[in-house]
Amino acid sequence: MTDVSTDRTGDIAVVTIHRPPANFFDYDLIHDLANALDELAATGCRAAVLASEGRHFCAGANFGTGGPAADRVDSSRRLYTEAVRLFRVPMPVVAAVQGAAVGGGLGLALSADFRVTVPGARFHANFAALGFHQGFGLSVTLPRLVGAQLAAELLYTARKVDGADAVRLGLADRLADGSDPLPAAVDFAREIASSAPLTVRSMKETLRGTLADDVARATERELTEQARLWATEDCAIGIAANLARETPVFVGR
């Protein structure tokens, strides 16, 4: 049974993640998302909305479920292979971001072409607070959107960004009223779908260029550093503090 549903109406569709409240991802979820978007694109869908059920868009991977380091590296490699597929989807995708888009969940949000959010949303590259390297291609997508300097600041400080600031900084594109961005995201998708579909796909291919290949290369470096840092004391401290909702005190080992 999949945790991803597709609801198509005419030329647009809403693809929804059903793992509330945090909507943690794993290989199966990203694989199912990529399959759903690929199938929509292959059947003439002009634009899709990526949404999630419940309070949060996506809190990334669940660090509360662990395993041997070798298994974690292998599963991450498989997951990133599927993640790269999201960047190759030929039709435009609009992410509807409510609540938290944290860690890899931020990476998932940035795989979309656009993001519609709400004031109470939280965009958070929290990796430095975990003692863990960024992933999901954020090494490429974050500086691509906000510039190298701001990307470095957000990564090094693990600063949280609310919905309004996300739009101001370029992390998101439109700010909806209230707490639910989905209606505004659907309206945005309809706007896109009203344009010439072959032209829009051609434009996307031109504008994205080598992005998917760049992300694929970046995830190799990200994976290598994640494996190295996973074995450090700081990573153990950071993850334990995160699970306990405490402030970590790192030791540099």
Helices 148-157 and 138-146, packing angle to 10 deg: 120
The whole-angstrom distance between residue 118's C-alpha and the CA centroid of its chain comes to 16
Nearest to 211 by CA among 119, 113, 134: 113
Give the torsion sign (CA, 66, 68, 69, 72). negative
- Spatial strand order in the sheet of 160-162: 100-102, 122-124, 160-162
pLDDT score for 29: 97
Going residue by residue through the chain (253 aa), what tens digit of pLDDT does each one get?
Answer: 689 999 999 999 999 999 999 999 999 999 999 999 999 999 999 999 999 999 999 999 987 665 555 567 788 899 999 999 999 999 999 999 999 999 999 999 999 999 999 999 999 999 999 999 999 999 999 999 999 999 999 999 999 999 999 999 999 999 999 999 999 999 999 999 999 999 999 999 999 999 999 999 999 999 999 999 999 999 999 999 999 999 999 999 9
By the 8 A CB rule, do 239 and 131 touch? Answer: yes
CA distance 124 to 145: 15
CA distance 197 to 199: 5
CA distance 181 to 27: 26
pTM of the model: 0.95
By the 8 A CB rule, do 163 and 118 touch? Answer: yes
**206 φ, ψ (degrees, to nearest 5):** -70, -45
- How deeply is 210 buried, as exposed, middle or buried, from its count of CB atoms within 10 A (0-12, 13-18, 19+)? exposed
Please measure the distance between the N-terminal and C-terminal CA atoms of the chain and give it in whole angstroms. 42
**95 φ, ψ (degrees, to nearest 5):** -90, 135
Give the chain's domains with CATH numbers. 4-180 (3.90.226.10)
